[in-house]
């Protein structure tokens, strides 16, 4: 079995003006596509070729882990975005955020800070761990499952995620994703 670049859940220009088609041309069409291509080359002709992405991630190390994890992380990230996104979550997710952070505002502040202050390349996450919501950040290709957590929401804070549209203004990119683009329905479905 080989892995494929998943279809985006929206057109490449659907998040304009917040994220441009040019960003997706590079971020999705070049970066994510390269992770998938590299992953397939690394597993071709090995027993790993018949394993699921999750099975590979459980045992992989080095370059194999990096490419498999980046394929997972990016696929997850695309689903966290929507041209009709933003605002605040509703229902069970909103109640869980209120329970574990005190308020949506407190969660949003903590999440944005974790994303903005993450040193270097990585990811900001809202996760569930031990029955509770937490904010975490991971470096490079690392992902929550390696830390006993289940992802609900992520923001990619590698420079290639925002540099075309926001240059070095990572906090503005994070603010825009939270206010305009988060697909709270997808996030809630992960709860």
pLDDT tens digits, 173-190: 999 999 999 999 999 999
Q: Range of 166's domain?
A: 91-190
Residues 111 and 133 in one domain: yes
The CATH number of whichever domain residue 186 belongs to comes to 3.55.40.20
Instruction: Summarize pLDDT for 20-75 with one digit per residue, the tens.
Output: 999 999 999 999 999 999 999 999 999 999 999 999 999 999 999 999 999 999 99
Asked, for residue 13, whether it belongs to a domain, the answer is no
Asked, for residue 9, whether it belongs to a domain, the answer is no
Residues 99 and 63 in one domain: no
Residues 99 and 182 in one domain: yes
Residues 72 and 104 in one domain: no
Residues 153 and 179 in one domain: yes
Instruction: Summarize pLDDT for 121-178 with one digit per residue, the tens.
Output: 999 999 999 999 999 999 999 999 999 999 999 999 999 999 999 999 999 999 999 9
Residues 107 and 182 in one domain: yes
Asked, for residue 147, whether it belongs to a domain, the answer is yes
Q: Which residues sit opposite 81 in a β-bridge?
A: 182
Q: How many structural domains is the chain composed of?
A: 2
Tokens linked to 125? 């996450």
Residues 153 and 100 in one domain: yes
Residues 48 and 96 in one domain: no
**Residue 88 — pLDDT band, cuts 50, 70, 90?**
very high
Using H for helix, E for strand and C for coil, what is the string for the chain? CCCCCCCCCCCCCCCCCCCCHHHHHHHHHHHHHHHHHHHHHHHCCCHHHHCCHHHHHHHCCHHHHHHHHHHHHHHHHHHCECCCCCCCCCHHHHHHHHHHHCCHHHHHHHHHHHHHCCCCCEEEEEEEECCEEEEEEEECCCCHHHHCCEEEEEEECCHHHCHHHHCCCHHHHHHHHHHHHECHHHHHHHC
Asked, for residue 1, whether it belongs to a domain, the answer is no
The answer on pLDDT for 1 being more than 80 is no
Residues 75 and 95 in one domain: no
Please report the pLDDT score of residue 185 as a whole number.
98
- Enter the pTM of the model: 0.97
Residues 53 and 136 in one domain: no
Asked, for residue 4, whether it belongs to a domain, the answer is no
Residues 104 and 72 in one domain: no
Residues 127 and 101 in one domain: yes
């Amino acid at each position: 079995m080989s892995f494929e670049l998943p279809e985006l859940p929206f057109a490449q220009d659907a998040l304009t003006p917040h994220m441009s088609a040019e960003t997706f041309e590079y971020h999705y069409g070049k970066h994510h596509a390269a992770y998938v291509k590299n992953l397939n080359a690394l597993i071709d002709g090995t027993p790993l070729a018949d394993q699921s992405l999750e099975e590979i991630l459980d045992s992989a190390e080095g370059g194999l882990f990096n490419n498999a994890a980046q394929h997972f992380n990016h696929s997850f990230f695309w689903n966290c975005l929507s041209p009709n996104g933003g605002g605040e979550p509703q229902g069970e997710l909103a109640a869980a955020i209120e329970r574990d952070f005190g308020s949506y505002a407190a969660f949003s502040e903590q999440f944005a800070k974790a994303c903005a202050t993450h040193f270097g390349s990585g990811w900001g996450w809202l996760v569930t761990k031990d029955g509770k919501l937490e904010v975490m950040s991971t470096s490079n290709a690392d992902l929550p499952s390696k830390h006993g957590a289940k992802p609900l929401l992520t923001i990619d804070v590698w420079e290639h995620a925002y540099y075309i549209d926001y240059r070095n203004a990572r906090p503005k990119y994070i603010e825009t994703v939270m206010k305009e683009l988060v697909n709270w329905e997808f996030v809630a479905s992960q709860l």
